[in-house]
Amino acid sequence: MQYRAKHAIYSPVVPDLPSNTGASNGQDSSAALLGTAKRLPEFSLAEKVVLVTGAARGLGLVQAEALLEAGATVYALDRLPEPSPDFYRVQKRAAEELGTTLHYRQIDVRDVPQLNEIVQNISETQGKLDGLIAAAGIQQETSALEYTAKDANTMFEVNITGVFMTAQAAAKEMIRHGRGGSIAMIASMSGSVANRGLICPGEQPSPYNASKAGVIQLARNLASEWGQHGIRVNTISPGYIVTAMVEALFTQHPERKRDWPTQNMLGKLSLPQEYRGAAVFLISDASSFMTGADLKIDGGHSAW
């Protein structure tokens, strides 16, 4: 059964240029689009509804706040029963300063029936669904010789299947509303290179790296399949990010805090806020002709 046949088909809208653009006499019609009263309107997410998984804290929450600042209504989906204290700060700021709203829904992305129900409910409540950032994921470092099938399956179930099912649930709603949309999946630079910085005696993240490579390839194929519906699918591949989890890792492996900054071209580690712009860019019309792409933000780590 073809899903497309049952739902509205996306039809891209090409804006009409003003009649005085000069296009008829050989002048560049793009000049008519310059000097708009609102600067960079293509980055606006006003009246957009966006889901962000893994947004109870960390990178997901930071990106959710950026979407709010761009004007979006954001739903944070996470497996935690309660979000972090920072979440409530962002939620309050959204309501009092930004004029928009941040909502929270508890969900484990492995629970597909409940995931579908939540996404459909949000879509029906809002009357649309415009974007998704799939940031939910887990990490475990164990020697490849000692990794159990159970641990590997859990890794893939969350990092690949969970991302896939979340994207599928969102895409179904986007197709149903016939508005198109944008999906951004959080991958990793370690999905493109054999990351020597994560190699230490007795501990390897091979299944994690493989799962992120899977996310990159998944996005390419979903982009090719869903493009006919006006749905764009891209990935973000971050480099090393200093989060609370990474800070804890540094206490166990202090050599990583010393060595990691030397492995990229900028000689430093990134902070979560350095990925805010990428989130807004990929979800907004600023990236309207970008799909099936991997946006690497790794300080040049994977370039050498």
Active site residues: 208, 212
Give the separation between CA 216 and CA 189, rounded to whole angstroms. 10
Residues 6+ apart with CB under 8 A from 199: none
Give the separation between CA 294 and CA 267, rounded to whole angstroms. 22
H/E element, 30:
none
Segment 177-180 long-range contacts (CB within 8 Å, at least 24 positions apart): 177/8, 177/123, 177/127, 177/128, 177/129, 178/7, 178/8, 178/9, 178/10, 178/11, 179/10, 179/128, 179/130, 179/230, 180/10, 180/12, 180/229, 180/230, 180/231, 180/232
Q: Is 19 exposed, middle or buried (0-12, 13-18, 19+ CB in 10 A)?
A: exposed
Give the separation between CA 8 and CA 179, rounded to whole angstroms. 9
